[in-house]
Structures are given as C-alpha cells and as structure tokens.
Chains A and B, each alone.
Chain A
Amino acid sequence: MVFRMDTYEREAIDLFRATFETLSPRWQLSHDSNALELSPITGPVAAAIKLSSEQATQIRTIAGVTSSVTVDALLFEKKFRLHLVGRKIDRTKWAGTASPSVDAEAVAGDLARGLSFAETVLSEVNSLVVILNRDGNIQRFNRFAEELSGLREADVIGKNAWDLFMSEEDGTESRQNIEGFFLRGEAYEVERTVKTIRGPRLFQFRNKFARTGDRPDDTFLICSGIDITEERRARDRLTELANNDTLTGLRNRNYLMDRLEHLMATPKSIDRLALLFIDLDNFKRINDSLGHREGDQLLKQVAKRLQRVARDEQEVIRVSGDEFVIVVSGDFARFTAQELANRVVEDFDLAYVLRANSYRMRASIGVVEHVQQGDNAFDLLTRADLAMYAAKAVGKGKDISACHAYTPELSERAERGLEFYQALQYGFLRKEFALDYRDCYTVDGTARGLLALVRWNRAGTTPVEGRELFSMVESCGFGVQLGEYQLTEACRQLQEWRAAGQFVEHVTLDVPYAQLVDGDLAGCVSECLREHAMDPSALRLIVQNRPDQTATHVLDKLETIRSTGVQIFVALTADSAFPNLAKLHVDGLCLHEEFVGRVASEPVSRALVKGIVGVCNEMELSVLVHGVDSEEQFRWLTQFPEAEVQGRFVTDAFSATGSSM
C-alpha cells in the first residue's frame, strides 16, 4: 500500500505527537466498557474513543496471540482510521499499540513487535518447545531447547529430531508414534528420555498438531516438554523407602509381600518358587548385652553375608528385627533352596567380629516350596515360619544353626494345638478330671495327710497327669480353672471323709502357675474352705516356678494365704535354683522325685538332699520328699526324722499299718 501525505495527515500526525508523544500510542479496552483508552507509551490515559459495541466486540475476540483490528473512530473531533495491534493481556483487558492509518510503517512495525513478542514467549517459556514437520525435521527450537542441548537453533533447523536427541530404541518408537498421530492428527502425551548436556533427562511431552494451511505439508507437530526427572526421582525414592530397610539396605517385608503376590499370581511359579525363612536365635540376647548400636552393626553384617551367600542370584529380604527371607525362583527351586540353606548354615559357623570381639550367631532356617495353586504369600510365609520353628527345635540345646524343610505334618502339628484345645475344653465340660490321693508319712510311719494329684481321664485315650498335664493346661489358658477345680474337689472330698468319720490331717495340692499369677488364689481358697466348713490347716499348697522371682503382688498373695493358716510349699526340681527364702516366706519345701531317684547312685544328690533338709531344719520348715519308690531310698531317708515321704514304697509299707483313709 502506498500512502500519500497530505495536510490532513500532517495535522493528524502533529495531533498524535502532541497528545501521545508518539505516532503509536498504547490502547486499552476493558471487558465492561466500550471506551477505548489511548495513552503515551508510558503515562496516564490521554484520550478516549467511544466505540460502537460491534467494534468493541470485534476487539474482544482477540486472544492471547497478537493480532490486529481496524476501527474507524472519532478522535479530536476528527475521523480516524486506527489500526489496533495487540492482544488480550489478562482476563478483563485487551491492550496494544494503535496507529492512525496514515502511518503504514508504524503498523508494520507494530505487527513485527507483536510477532516478536510471540517469538519471545516461545523462546523464553520455561519448557522445551520444538516444532517438527511430519518428517521429524526441526522447524523451531526454543531457547530452553538450545540450553538443554547445547546446540543453536540456527544449527539444528531442518535436522532430524530423533537422530539428534533420542536413543535408537526410543527414537524408533517415537517415530512410529508420531507417524501414527500425524495420520490421525490427535494431540497426545508421552514420556521420553532426552539426551542433554547434563546427561539423559526424563521429559513429559504434550504434543499438539498445528495447521498453517490446507496441504498435508502444512501440518506441524508442536512438542512441548517439561523436565520431570527430579519429580520422578522423588517418587522413586518414596517407593524405595517403602520397599527397603534403611538399616541394612535390603528389601523389606512390604516389598516381599508385593513380590510374592506378583510371583504367585502366575501358575508357572508352582515348583519354581521357594523361600528360606531365617531367624537369628540368639540375636536378642547379644543385642541386649551389646547395646543397640552394636546390634545394628551386627545386623548389617548378617545382611551382607547373607547377600554374599545368596550370590546376587536370589533376593535377600529383612522381614523384621532379626528375621530374613531369601526368595529363590527358577527351575528346581526346592533343590536350590535346600542347597542355599546348607550354605547359610555353614556361613553362620564363621564368627562375626565387632571391635575385636567375636560372636557366634545361630540361625534357624525354614525352607518351603510353592507347590499348590491358589496359595497366597501369607500361606507360604506361615509354612516357612513353621519350618523355621522346627529347625529351631533341632538346633536348640545343641547351640547350632539348623535348617528344616516344610512338611505337611508341621501344619498338622500346629493344628493339633487347636484340636487339643478343643479336647481340653470338653474335658472341663464333661468333668473328665479327677483327683488321685497318695498317702504321706514321716519316716517312722506316722500318717501325714494326703497328696492330691490331678488326672485327666481323656475320653478314648490314656489318662494324662503330672507335669505333662499341667503344661498342656497352662498353654491352653485353663490353668486357673484347673486350679479352682482341684481346690473345690479336694475340699469337698475332705468334708465327705470327715462326715464319714475318717480323719485326714490335710491335703497337699499343686497350684498351677496361672492360678497363682492371674487367679485370686486367696479368694478361691477361702471360699472353698468356707463352703465345706474346713479349717485352713487342712490345705497345703505347692507352688512352682521360683515364685520369689515373680512380681511382688504374687508374693503378697502368698503371704495373705499363709496368714489365714493355709501352708505354702515350694517345689524344688533338680535343675531349679534354690529360692530366696528371705524374700519368700513359706512353710516347707517339696523335693522332686529326681532327687531321690539319684540318691543311690550320685553322691552329689545325697549331699544336696542332706543340705536342703539341713537348711529346712534350721529354719523350721517342713520337707516333703516325692518319689520314694524303693526300700533302699527309704532306708537312706530314715536319717531325717523330720522329713515327710511319699512314693510307691512308702504307700506299700505303711498302708497296711495305718492308712490315712
């Protein structure tokens, strides 16, 4: 276009210069007013033009991309044609520069400025922008891309993007991807690792197609990418934290469960998956004596050595404090696992050294194989745990590391616990318990009451009694009930005998440990005595398990019972320590039958019995000796006139002459 300068135009230029100090003042339009405000490049509004609503609407259609609109308007009471170049600058405002139609150069300049603004935006935007044609040749390459790649736009334009920035693999995939998308023309998102001067970085690309014309060659792909390397690293770190044990660096239980569920989800894992469950038997003790820092060091060493034994082929996982699992997968998993378990056992033979002290760790290892479809990770671990306990039983007492493979019998045995619990429960319900009474005498044959022994006449099997019964009952949680049964039954029987005119001095009973600790022994004793009108001296109670070592409230309980007149005895077995009689006030001691059994052969046992009886005499305590089964034993015991004896020989010898019953 060619413009002719005439007077009118000259006047207009002068007016513009005078008012706005420029031929291209700034214009601004807001969304709620049709007044187009004009101002100098810097400074307040100097003039306003009233636009028709059509004109205003036309301007408001301008978006964020710089464009131009021409409006005819009255300014300074003169008609002007104004070229407005500008864009929407925020949600409610449009602004730019205005030029009267007289100044073609100004318009061209403004347009160029607008375009350069767009260019600047493209360049300065804080993400990677690359524009490609359908062959993947670079058309535009923004500043971010330049910095990232260390290449200048001018040098890369027209070159192939995949060759430049992508690994072969990624490039091929990406190329196919893009070809497909060019055909469909859809926008898409993709994550790609890009070679940069700082090394490979992960980018998330939002790719969009733009058309500049109708021909297929006019379609371009705008790839805009943001660097998500750090974000992804943070996410990976979180996952790692969730799946790793920070102390040893091994994988943790969380990982194990996920891994097993994943492995076991496919039927292919049958016979191709096995586990080693490793428990450190003596870690707790070492940890307590060493201190926790050294304990941690020790665990780290164990972890390292386990990893070495597993030779990177199998995964080592720390499932809890001192428990580790090794996952074995592949053909012949069972044999690999067994062989690995043997190597672990061997490895534990070598000492662990901390600060010049060596420690021998002992491990119990359970080995289990995944054999049945439908089992879950939990089932497998439960079985591994059972096998581990079996190994523990093997190693216990021998102070060695041991391994044991899982067998179905182990599950059955564990189940038997439940079955036994049920049987015992019915024992109580059907009242299958009974008391057997044995006579007690002094060595000169004077009757000294009865010893009551509880027996479980279990339906269909041989009766259970003694220590075996007590430990079964206590482990099933029926200790208190058994104790109460004994007391009630003994008092009832005593009352019956007395009513029948038979004199029994007293009945001696074993008190289950649970009744002593959890039961209100004193309350039960006094109620039984009261209900059957018995004198407290009619009962003598034997307590086990070093009661002087238990809590003070238990000692108080015993003291309360003693204060009513019921006698308390403490049982001594060959391997139990002598109770602290200064702390524990009792009326007598019971010697387990092992003592008497060894009297004939072992001088040590003879000395022990002599000593114990001596202490008792000194302290005016009674002594009850169990298990006097032979004449030889009895004869030896006659040297203790104060002792009471009980056993097969005694019963046979004296029952004819003067039984209590």
Chain B
Amino acid sequence: MDEKVIEAATPAPLHEEEHHIFNECVELSLSQDSILTRRLIRSDGASFSQIVAIDRMDDLSDFATADPYQTRLEGSYDRIRQKCVAAMGSERMKEVKTGDPVRLIGEISMCATEGALLSKVRTIIASLGGMQFTYQWIRFNGANPSTGDSVESRYLVGCRPAWTQQYIARLWYMNDPYVTYARKNVAPALASHVNVHRTDHWLVTEARMHGFASGIVAPAHIHGHGLVGLLHVSNSIRAPDGEGVLWDNRVLFRAISSELLDWRVSQVRQNALVKYELSEQETEILRMLRDGASASHVADQLGMSKHTVYKTIYQRITRKTGATRITDAVEKAAAHGLLD
C-alpha cells in the first residue's frame, strides 16, 4: 500500500467566502488541490453541497455562469478564479492516472478528503466505460429513506458542472426518477429500466443535453441512518449499446457506491467522535436505549439509582450532544453512526 490511512486534519482551504442572499446562504470554498465546494443552505436548514474539480478555468466559468445567484456571487467567483490561476501556475498539469479498477475501489476508503475521493472516482469511472458521473449522499429526516425530506445533500460532480447547478436551483431533485428509485431500491438499474413508463421524462431530456445519453444508477443504503448514496454513471453512447457497456460493470458500480457511502459514514462518525466526546459508557447507554431499554434497565445495568441516571447521566449526554431530550440524543448519535 502506497497511501496513508485517513488523516483527520484536512489542509486549510485556499479561499473561503460566505454570502447571505435573502433567506439563503451560499458558502464557497476552494481547497489547495483546486476543488471548489459550493454549499447552499436554505432557510429551512436543508443544505446542498457541490464538490467540483477545477481542472481548467473553463470549468470554473461554466460553474459560475450557471449559478442562479451569479449576479451576487460574481465578485466572489472572480476572486476564486484569481486564486486558481495563481495555484495552477506553480503546479504541473494533473496527470490522468489509470489503474486496475478493483484495486482502486479498494483504495476509496483511504482517501482523506472529498477532493481526493472525487479524483479517485473519476479515474475508476473512466476505466469502466463511464464518461460522466454524479454521486450524491442524501440524508433524509427520519431513519427511513423512502419517506421524509432531504435535509443534507452532497454531490460529487464528475460531469459538466453546470448540470448540478441547474439540478439544485430548479429543484430537479424533487422530480428526479433516479432519486425516487434510489429511495426504495438497492439494486443497480439502467436508466431505461428506471424510466420504463416515461422513457422521455423531461429530466432525462434535460440530462441528455448535458451528455447523459445512456446511464446506470447504483444506490446504496445504510441501515438506520436515513442516508442514501446514489451513483449515476453515464456515457454519450446511445442506448442500448451505451447501456450494455455500463451494465457489464454493474457489480463494480455497486461496489463504488457502497464504498463511497461507507466513506461518508466513517467521516461523519469521525467528526462526531471529536465533536461530542462521548465516553464508552455513555455510548453503551445510548445503544441500550436505542435497543429499547428504559431508564430502570440502564440503572440496573450500571448499579445506580434511576434518579442518578436521569439527573446525572442523561443530563451529561444531552449536554454533550446538544440534544433537548435523551431520545433526541439517541437519534442524533445513531444518525452519526456512533451506535453501530
């Protein structure tokens, strides 16, 4: 193995800005390795992050001009452009790495940042007959992903950056047949299979204008997290030929999707561990509560009074997790993967 295992500390960004536009907030952040993250926080708290690699200045200008808030963010994008130019000037051209896809999929879990993840996945997808891809992590409120509204979405953008800008700005995620499919299914599926009743679904037509001709989707779920991963790979070869290439690699796409979801979960867990600082005992208590235990069970287990459990233990846990009640703390800890 030539790569290091996850390092918790990520390098400081080259540039960061935050803009409030009426009821929404947009955060733009450029990393050292020319990865731009645009995070939109809606007034209801739901957030949408796009993670885009800026290989050429064209990528940045495509992304900026497609931004619905372009008029307000123009100056910001311009500053980012200058930072990018400065950073690229000193850096050599990014070489396109190739390699055995199976080995590369195994290396996904070792990526330290989303930027590293993005470039790794691009390499893998390219060697599997895909030309474009998006990967979305969608967190729904509630543990069941087939109901509930999305509260946090992150998109690894391996396609024309203008596509995800439009996708988010026009609320297309609400109409996306692939998302609907992913909420209820785990098996990989061809685009034509998902859209069996509406092969010319308008969103599919829109996507085709961005080079998504044939496609495959590979959803991934993780129990009890309300978190769904969705890999959408496409090429510009028309179905059925284009789909054939992709279908042959469905098992690998499924593996990528699962690995990416696991990566996210472990990242979330890592962050939560640092943030909440729950002790082993406290985690164990939360686990018992999740499995249906009551305060008296907990008291028995710990050999203390129910009063102490309520007054001391529960209060400490809710304070640490920022929850209002112990049931909220259980939900929060579970969502962050601390109880797995």
Contact surface of A with B, Cβ cutoff 8 Å: 378, 414, 418-419, 421-422, 425-426, 428-429, 477-478, 480-481, 484, 518-520, 523-524, 526-527, 530
Cβ contacts under 8 Å, A530 to chain B: 197
- Contact present for B171 and A481 (CB under 8 Å): yes
A418 and B174 contact, CB distance less than 8 A: no
Q: By the criterion CB–CB under 8 Å, are A523 and B201 in contact?
A: yes
Contact B202 A480 (CB under 8 A): yes
A429 close to B205 (CB less than 8 A): no
A-B contact pairs, 20 of them (CB 8 A): A418-B21, A418-B68, A418-B71, A421-B68, A422-B22, A422-B43, A425-B171, A428-B171, A428-B174, A429-B174, A477-B170, A481-B170, A481-B171, A481-B175, A518-B202, A523-B198, A523-B199, A524-B202, A526-B198, A530-B197
Given contacts A422-B23, A480-B202, 20 further A-B contacts (CB under 8 A): A414-B71, A418-B22, A418-B68, A418-B69, A419-B22, A422-B22, A426-B23, A428-B174, A478-B170, A478-B171, A481-B171, A481-B175, A484-B175, A518-B202, A518-B205, A520-B200, A520-B202, A520-B205, A523-B198, A523-B201
Q: How far is the CB of B15 from chain A (nearest CB, A)?
A: 19
Give CA–CA (A527, B24) in the complex, Å: 34
Q: Which residues of B contact A526 (CB under 8 A)?
A: 197-198
Cβ 8 A contact of B44, one of A428, A429, A480: A429
Contacts of A425 in B (CB 8 A): 171
A520-B201 contact, Cβ under 8 Å, with A418-B69, A418-B72, A422-B23 = yes
> How near does chain B come to A520, taking the closest CB pair, in angstroms?
5
Complexed CA–CA distance, A174 and B227 (Å): 79
Q: How far is the CB of B152 from chain A (nearest CB, A)?
A: 15
Query: What secondary structure prevails in chain B residues at the interface with A?
Result: loop
Contacts of A419 in B (CB 8 A): 22
Q: How far is the CB of B164 from chain A (nearest CB, A)?
A: 15
Within 8 A of A (CB), among B5-59: 21-24, 42-44
Measured CB to CB, the closest approach of chain B to A519, in angstroms, equals: 4
Q: CA A293 – CA B272 in complex, angstroms?
A: 70
Task: Give the residues from 249 to 303 in chain B that come closer than 8 angstroms, CB to CB, to chain A.
Answer: none
* Contact A520 B198, CB 8 Å, known A418-B21, A418-B72, A419-B22: yes
| Mask of B142-186 contacts with A, CB within 8 angstroms, 1/0 | 000000010000000000000000000111001100000000000
Number of B residues near A (Cβ < 8 Å) is 26
CB distance from B193 to the nearest CB of A (A): 16
Q: Which 10 A-B pairs have the closest CB atoms?
A: A523-B198, A519-B202, A520-B200, A419-B22, A520-B202, A422-B22, A527-B197, A477-B170, A480-B202, A520-B201
Q: Which residues of A contact B22 (CB under 8 A)?
A: 418-419, 422
- Contact with A523, one of B169, B174, B197 (Cβ below 8 angstroms): B197
Query: Using Cβ atoms and an 8 Å threshold, which residues of chain A touch B199?
Result: 523
CB distance from A547 to the nearest CB of B (A): 17
Which chain B residue lies CB-closest to A522? B200
B171 near A429: Cβ-Cβ < 8 Å:
yes
Contacts of B71 in A (CB 8 A): 414, 418
A378 CB contacts on chain B under 8 angstroms: 74
Q: Which residues on the B side are within 8 Å of A414 (C-beta)?
A: 71
Quote the shortest CB–CB distance from B210 to chain A (angstroms): 14
By a CB distance below 8 angstroms, the chain A residues around B68 are: 418, 421
- Closest Cβ of chain B to A302, distance in Å, is 30
Q: How far in angstroms is the closest Cβ of chain A from B131?
A: 24
Q: Which B residue sits closest to A411, measured CB to CB?
A: B71
Q: CA of A480 to CA of B200 in the docked complex: distance in angstroms?
A: 14
Interfacial chain A residues near B149, Cβ < 8 Å: 429
A524 adjacent to B198 (CB under 8 Å)? yes
- With both chains docked as a complex, state the minimum distance between the C-beta of B206 and any C-beta of chain A, in angstroms: 8
Measured CA separation A418–B199 after assembly (Å): 33
CA of A419 to CA of B74 in the docked complex: distance in angstroms? 17
Complex Cα gap A361–B175 (Å): 47
Q: Name B186-201 residues within 8 Å CB distance of A.
A: 197-201
Q: Are A481 and B69 in contact (CB under 8 A)?
A: no
CB distance from B168 to the nearest CB of A (A): 10
Chain B residues with CB under 8 Å of A478's CB are 170-171
Distance A425 CA – B200 CA, assembled complex (angstroms): 25
Residues of B within 8 A of A520 (CB): 198, 200-202, 205
CB-defined contacts of A519 to chain B, threshold 8 Å: 202
B171 touches A527 (CB 8 A): no
CA distance A526 to B23 in the complex (A): 37
Question: Which of B24, B198, B202, B206 lies in contact with A422, CB distance below 8 A?
Answer: B24
Contacts of A422 in B (CB 8 A): 21-24, 43
Chain B residues positioned under 8 Å from A481 (CB to CB)? 170-171, 174-175
Question: B69: which A residues are within 8 A, CB to CB?
Answer: 418
Q: Which residue of A lies closest to B70 (CB)?
A: A418
Nearest-neighbour CB distance to chain B for A488, whole angstroms, equals 11
Q: Measured between alpha carbons, how far is A414 from B44 in the docked complex, in Å?
A: 24
Max chain B CB contacts within 10 Å: which of A519, A526, A527, A530?
A519
Chain A residue at minimal CB-CB distance from B195: A523
Known: A418-B22, A428-B174, A429-B171. A527 touches B198 (CB 8 A): yes
Q: Measured between C-beta atoms, what is the minimum distance from B332 to chain A in Å? A: 24
Contacts of B206 in A (CB 8 A): 518
**For B23, what are the chain A residues with a Cβ–Cβ distance below 8 Å?**
422, 426
Complex: A419 Cα to B69 Cα, angstroms:
10
Rounded to whole angstroms, the CA-CA distance of A421 and B68 in the bound complex is 9
Q: Which B residue sits closest to A477, measured CB to CB?
A: B170
Residue among B71, B199, B206 with max Cβ neighbours from chain A (10 Å) = B71
A426 to B68, CA, bound (A): 15
Residue of A nearest to B199 (CB): A523
CB distance from A202 to the nearest CB of B (A): 36
**A426 and B43 form a contact (CB under 8 A):** yes
**CA–CA, A23 to B198, complex, Å?**
108
Among residues 71 to 119 in chain B, which have CB atoms less than 8 Å away from a CB atom of chain A? 71-72, 74
**Which residues of chain A are near B205, meaning CB under 8 Å?**
518, 520
CA of A81 to CA of B43 in the docked complex: distance in angstroms? 105
